[in-house]
Amino acid sequence: MSQARPPAKPNEPRGVMARYALILETVAASSLGLSLTEIMRGTGLSSGTTHRLLNALLEVGYLTDQGGRKIYRIGPRLIRLFHLANSPTTVSLLVQPVLQGLVARFGETAFVAKLSGVQVESVASAAPETYSQSHVQPGRIMPINAAASAKAIFAFQPEPVIARALAAPLVKYTERTVVDPAKLRHHLEEVRAQGYAVCADELDPGVLSYACPIHLAGAGVLYSIGIVALSRRLMAFEEAEVIAALSNAARLTSTRLRGELKFSDATEPAS
């Protein structure tokens, strides 16, 4: 009386992944989330199978349980994937206004950097018109050990990511560049504690930069927003003032980016 596998229709897309994909699409299509039964009907899978697959997706983080209700939505891990696969273009369009606000206020170059694999690269920047070219062209790789923008991001990455980033040898750009992995790790912890990063003369002598992480609800930190300038110019402002502005800009940007995906705020299933 038990049930073996179905006759395996020759034409249908077979494989487990096909079923997962089916479920994901069904869930993504609904704005308000779906119950198990709805998913089961929408996909044509049996209740047992649906239940198991759903739980697998939940465990992996591709779906969210929405607190304990039996309503499933797209989960944080998928959102992270989306952002990872996201090209600079969108972000660039979305953050331009924010960057320009910073430029208007401080008269220096402002930019957004993004985690891309084990590197951080600049994805959008705005410079005051008085400068012919900014220090930070989009696409530039920001080293983990010498750029505030990179530090602000890596400080909030899970251990394995940091480990892989530190696998490559650290370049000593200036006298003040930190090249000792242990020291750098310690420094990153400070950054995480403070909530922002500072780099003075670590990448280029005489250049000062600040950066704040952009926290994406559900997806952790994948971006940072920062300001670079010659030290003597930027020092005209209080550090606290700059940080406050950046922090505010980060929050604003987060909102704009967050809008990209509909999902519920839930990093962990509240224990």
Partner DNA sequence: AGCAGCCATTCCAATTTGCGGAAAATTATA
Partner DNA sequence: TATAATTTTCCGCAAATTGGAATGGCTGCT
Interface with a copy of itself (CB under 8 A)? 13, 15-18, 20-21, 24-25, 28-31, 56-57, 59-62, 74, 77-78, 80-82, 84-90, 93-94, 116-118, 256, 259-263
Residue identified by tokens 């995906």 is: 261
Q: Which of residues 218-247 bind DNA (CB under 7 A)?
A: none
CB closer to a copy of itself out of 63 and 208: 63
Residue 210 CB, nearest approach to a copy of itself (Å): 26
Task: Please state, in angstroms and rounded to a whole number, the distance separating the CA atoms of residues 265 and 255.
Answer: 12
271 binds, among a copy of itself, DNA, none (CB under 5 to 8 A by kind): none
* Encoded tokens for 42: 């929408």
Give me the 102-121 binding string for DNA, x by CB under 7 A, dash otherwise. Answer: --------------------
Distance of CA 141 to the CA centre of its chain: 16
Residue 15 CB, nearest approach to DNA (Å): 5
Contact 237, 231 (CB under 8 A): no
Interface with DNA, residue 6, by CB under 7 A: yes
- Count residues binding DNA (CB under 7 A): 27
Residue 107 CB, nearest approach to a copy of itself (Å): 26
Residue 63 CB contacts under 8 Å (≥ 6 apart), including other chains = 24, 27, 54, 57, 72, 73, 74, 75, 78
Interface with DNA, residue 5, by CB under 7 A: yes
Task: Please state, in angstroms and rounded to a whole number, the distance separating the CA atoms of residues 191 and 188.
Answer: 5
Task: Please state, in angstroms and rounded to a whole number, the distance separating the CA atoms of residues 263 and 73.
Answer: 7
Q: Which residues pair with 110 in a beta bridge?
A: 126, 227
- Distant-in-sequence contacts of 187-192, Cβ < 8 A, 24+ apart: 187/151, 188/151, 188/154, 188/155, 188/162, 189/155, 191/151, 191/152, 191/155, 192/155, 192/156
Interface with DNA, residue 10, by CB under 7 A: no
Interface with DNA, residue 255, by CB under 7 A: no
Interface with DNA, residue 14, by CB under 7 A: yes
194 binds, among DNA, a copy of itself, none (CB under 5 to 8 A by kind): none
Contact 209, 233 (CB under 8 A): no
47 binds, among DNA, a copy of itself, none (CB under 5 to 8 A by kind): DNA
2 binds, among a copy of itself, DNA, none (CB under 5 to 8 A by kind): DNA
Residue 93 CB, nearest approach to a copy of itself (Å): 6
Task: Please state, in angstroms and rounded to a whole number, the distance separating the CA atoms of residues 23 and 37.
Answer: 12
11 binds, among DNA, a copy of itself, none (CB under 5 to 8 A by kind): none
Residue 21 CB, nearest approach to DNA (Å): 12
55: number of Cβ within 10 Å: 13
Q: Which positions touch DNA (CB under 7 A)?
A: 1-6, 8, 14-16, 19, 35-37, 40, 45-54, 56, 70
